[in-house]
């Protein structure tokens, strides 16, 4: 329990350091642009691929579970749309990003710690926590909602393609379904969740990397911990945010 | 000048440094020597503030460094340069960007001025035509030189070197030592070097302290070290067979 509270305290002290006034805002701006490419743009491919197939599978599963003629066919499109918007685009994409981006952040910062690069920054008088973590945080907070929107669009597109090719629904029915009883707030809900998840992924992973002690083995462990803790927190906050935003 | 008074440091209840008091003179190459695990690096990192000390005082001129807050320490740190054991160059930056990093952070100079300063520092450490290379493309000796160039980019008053020639061949090691000594005299810096290399001791050891098991056992210069009465120091100095033979011949 004491260990948990100590870690909890260290996490918030690190956040305090991260959000302190930057030495040279222009350098942070450049660093943020770099992170937007590394952590954001470079994740578009994997998010698009996974969303496409998720959309396809949701459509096919919905179709095979609603074969009864009393269910109108357009429900397949509606099911795909709502599943993608409410859960898959934000939560599942966040879990994937926790694996990709989270491990990347923890191992990058962890390696910098064990090779004394962070000490070198501190010696120069640079606030290493802020310089290394804040741009990553801003980049993911900006870009993860974009990734969520991409996931929604590609997922629904994948669902439409799979449904049509498998012959379980016509294109017209699918398009009618994705337009039927559309609630725009669901997108807002999804984006709010994404912003929270982006913060969790970046801060938890950076925390794991920043306090690594030892060598390459410990960096590997920190990277694994970053993914596990981020994923658990994402699932926990998914429940809390759903209750708060949809109740 | 840096003064350390009755410094104590422990990790998880284990005493690493005990009652260390020492003065490091300006314009001189001050050496901290001792066996691996004796506490040299902990002492150096405590002096620069990377480790919080348990008790004692660390004075930079007339400023009590260890009692300063983050902003106060930051001010002093802008006057420090440090060469780490593994060089600690930023992997994602080129040689030029590495040396330019402190200039980008703490000066308002134009890009041309900064590049001019970078080239001057790199030339000073004999690194030519390597501006666009990444650290992974450099040899161990070149990495140390680039790290020295980065450390002197802001004209520091204090230079700290942790095992500057570990992992280097004897000739490159002597060149690095000579460079540190030259820079110390040229810029009148207070330089502290951690080493367990006796070649370095005999080359650049103007003021030397010997640490064993976290305790300062001896203090002197390179001329005194061969005639010391300190048993643990003699075991350290005459550890290899060549040194033992030379001592026997001398006697």
Say if CB B122 and CB B149 are below 8 A apart. yes
For residues B180 and B164, give the distance between their C-alpha atoms in angstroms, rounded to a whole number.
9
Structure tokens that stand for A82 in this block: 């709502």
- A241-245, B134-138, B149-153, B244-248, range with the lowest pLDDT: B244-248
Q: Check if B65 contacts A (Cβ < 8 Å).
A: no
| Residue numbers in A near B89 (CB within 8 A) | 117
Range of the domain at A32: 23-246
pTM score of the predicted model: 0.88
Predicted pLDDT of residue A35: 94
- Give residue B238's pLDDT: 78
Residue pLDDT, tens place only, A104-161: 999 999 999 999 999 999 988 899 999 999 999 999 999 999 999 999 999 999 999 9
Given CB atoms, is B107 within the 8 Å cutoff of chain A? no
Q: Tell me which of B79, B82, B110, B111 to substitute to probe the interface with A (most A C-beta atoms closer than 10 Å).
A: B82
Inter-chain residue contact A120 with B105, CB threshold 8 Å: no
Alpha carbon distance B192, B1 (integer Å): 11
- How far apart CA A192 and CA A186 sit, in angstroms, is 10
Tokens standing for residue A158: 């994948």
Kindly state whether residue A11 falls inside one of the protein's structural domains.
no
Q: What is the pLDDT of residues A148-206, one digit of tens each?
A: 999 999 999 999 999 999 999 999 999 999 999 999 999 999 999 999 999 999 999 99
In a domain, A51, yes or no: yes
Q: From CA A199, how far away is CA A20, in angstroms rounded?
A: 17
**DSSP letter for each residue of A2-66:** HHHHHHHHHHHHHHHHHTSPPS-HHHHHHHHHHHIIIIIGGGHHHHHHHHHHHHHHHHHHHHHH-
CB contact under 8 A, A27 and B80: no
Of A27, A116, A122, the CB nearest to B105: A27
Please determine, for residue A95, whether its predicted confidence score (pLDDT) is greater than 70.
yes
Q: What distances in angstroms separate CA A238 from CA A136, A137, A138, A184, B164, one per listed residue?
A: 22, 19, 21, 19, 51
List, for residues B164-205, the tens digit of each pLDDT value: 888 788 888 888 888 899 889 988 999 999 988 888 888 888
Kindly tell me if the per-residue pLDDT of A229 is higher than 90: yes
- Residue A135 forms part of a structural domain: yes
Residue A13 in contact with partner chain B when CB distance is under 8 A:
no
pLDDT at site B224: 82
Question: Which pLDDT belongs to residue A206?
Answer: 97
For residue A74, give the H/E element and its range.
helix A74-83
**Which of A192, A183, A182, A151 shows the shortest CA–CA distance to A54?**
A151
Cβ B105–A24 below 8 Å, yes or no? Answer: yes
Rounded mean pLDDT of B17-23? Answer: 93
Examine residue A10 and state whether it is found in any structural domain, yes or no: no
Determine, yes or no, domain membership for A54. yes
**B82 closest CB neighbour out of A27, A120, A126:** A120
Could you tell me if B84 lies within 8 Å of chain A, comparing CB atoms?
yes
pLDDT for the residue B126:
87
Longest dimension (CA), chain B: 62
Looking at residue A67, its pLDDT comes to 82
| Spatial distance between the Cα atoms of A98 and A148, rounded to a whole number of angstroms | 14
User: From CA A60, how far away is CA A163, in angstroms rounded?
Assistant: 6
Give whole-number Cα distances, B46 to A114, A232, B39, B43, B196, in Å. 18, 38, 10, 5, 19
Is the pLDDT at B148 greater than 80? The verdict is yes
Of B75, B82, B106, nearest to A123 by CB-CB distance is B82
**Count of structural domains, chain A:** 1
Task: Kindly report, residue by residue over A10-29, the tens digit of the pLDDT.
Answer: 999 999 999 988 888 888 99
Cβ distance A144 to A41 under 8 Å?
no
* Bridge partners, residue A128, by sequence: none
B106 contacts on A by Cβ (under 8 Å): 23, 124-125
- Tell me which chain A residues have a C-beta less than 8 angstroms from the C-beta of B102: 124
Say if CB B125 and CB B149 are below 8 A apart: yes
What gap in Å lies between CA B154 and CA A207, rounded to an integer? 30
Residue of A24, A115, A125 lying closest to B77 (CB–CB): A125
Contact assignment for A119 to B78 by CB distance below 8 Å: no
Contact yes or no for A133/A206 (Cβ under 8 A): yes
Question: For B217-233, how does the pLDDT look when each residue is reduced to its tens digit (9 = 90+)?
Answer: 889 888 888 777 787 88
Predicted local distance difference test score (pLDDT) of residue B157: 93
Residues of chain A positioned with their CB less than 8 A from the CB of B84:
116, 119-120
Q: What pLDDT is recorded for position A217?
A: 93
Give B24-51 pLDDT, tens digit per residue: 999 999 999 988 888 999 999 999 999 9
B-chain residue closest to A120, CA distance: B88
Kindly tell me if the per-residue pLDDT of A96 is higher than 90.
Answer: yes
Q: How many residue contacts between A and B have a Cβ separation below 8 Å?
A: 56
Mean pLDDT for A68-91 is 91
Residues in chain B closer than 8 A to A27 (CB atoms)? 104-105
Residues 184-223 of B with CB under 8 A from A: none
Contacts of A6 in chain B (CB under 8 A): none
| CB of B180 less than 8 A from some CB of A | no
Q: State the DSSP H helix or E strand holding residue A142, giving kind and residue range, or none if neither.
A: helix A128-166
Q: Does any domain span residue A14?
A: no
Instruction: Name the more confident of A1 and A55.
Output: A55
pLDDT at residue B251, rounded to an integer: 65
In tens, the pLDDT along B63-86 reads 999 999 888 888 898 899 999 988
CB of A38 within 8 Å of a chain B CB? The answer is no
The mean of the pLDDT values for chain B is: 89
What is the predicted pLDDT for the residue at A103?
A: 95
> pLDDT-based confidence at A2, cuts 50/70/90?
confident
Query: Taking all residues of chain A, what is their mean pLDDT, rounded to a whole number?
Result: 93
Q: Is residue A9 part of a domain?
A: no
């Amino acid at each position: 329990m004491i260990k948990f509270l100590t870690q909890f305290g260290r996490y918030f002290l690190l956040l305090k350091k991260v959000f302190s006034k930057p030495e040279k805002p222009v350098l942070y701006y450049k660093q943020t642009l770099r992170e937007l490419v590394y952590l954001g743009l470079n994740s578009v491919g994997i998010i698009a691929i996974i969303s496409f197939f998720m959309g396809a599978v949701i459509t096919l599963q919905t179709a095979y579970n609603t074969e009864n003629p009393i269910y109108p066919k357009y429900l397949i499109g509606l099911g795909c749309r709502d599943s993608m918007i409410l859960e898959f685009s934000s939560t599942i994409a966040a879990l994937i990003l926790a694996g990709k981006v989270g491990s990347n952040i923890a191992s990058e910062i962890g390696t910098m710690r064990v090779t004394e690069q962070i000490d070198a920054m501190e010696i120069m008088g640079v606030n290493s926590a802020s310089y290394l973590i804040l741009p990553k945080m801003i980049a993911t907070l900006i870009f993860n909602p974009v990734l969520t929107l991409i996931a929604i669009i590609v997922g629904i597109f994948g669902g439409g393609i799979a449904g049509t090719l498998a012959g379980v629904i016509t294109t017209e029915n699918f398009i009618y379904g994705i337009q039927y009883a559309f609630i725009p707030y669901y997108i807002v809900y999804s984006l709010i969740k994404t912003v929270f998840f982006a913060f969790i992924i970046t801060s938890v992973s950076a925390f794991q990397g920043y306090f690594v002690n030892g060598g390459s083995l410990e960096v590997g462990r920190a990277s694994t911990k970053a993914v596990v803790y981020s994923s658990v927190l994402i699932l926990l906050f998914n429940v809390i945010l759903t209750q708060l935003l949809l109740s | 000048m840096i003064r350390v008074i009755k410094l104590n440091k422990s990790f998880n209840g284990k005493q690493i440094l005990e009652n260390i008091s020492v003065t490091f003179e300006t314009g001189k190459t001050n050496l901290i020597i001792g066996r691996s695990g004796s506490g040299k690096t902990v002492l150096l990192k405590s002096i620069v503030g990377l480790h919080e000390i348990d008790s004692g005082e660390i004075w930079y001129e007339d400023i009590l460094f260890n009692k300063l807050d983050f902003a106060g320490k930051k001010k002093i740190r802008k006057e420090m340069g440090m060469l780490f054991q593994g060089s600690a160059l930023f992997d994602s930056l080129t040689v030029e960007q590495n040396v330019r990093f402190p200039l980008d952070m703490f000066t308002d100079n134009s890009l041309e001025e900064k590049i001019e300063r970078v080239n001057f520092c790199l030339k000073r450490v004999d690194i030519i035509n390597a501006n666009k290379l990444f650290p992974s493309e450099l040899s161990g000796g070149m990495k140390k030189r680039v790290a020295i160039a980065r450390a002197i980019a802001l004209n520091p008053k204090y230079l700290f070197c942790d095992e500057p020639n570990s992992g280097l061949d004897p000739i490159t090691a002597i060149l690095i030592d000579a460079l540190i000594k030259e820079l110390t005299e040229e810029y009148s810096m207070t330089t502290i070097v951690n080493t367990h290399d006796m070649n370095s001791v005999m080359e650049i050891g103007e003021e030397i302290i010997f640490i064993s098991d976290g305790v300062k056992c001896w203090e002197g210069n390179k001329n005194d070290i061969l005639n010391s009465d300190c048993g643990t120091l003699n075991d350290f100095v005459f550890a290899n067979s060549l040194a033992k033979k030379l001592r026997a011949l001398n006697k």
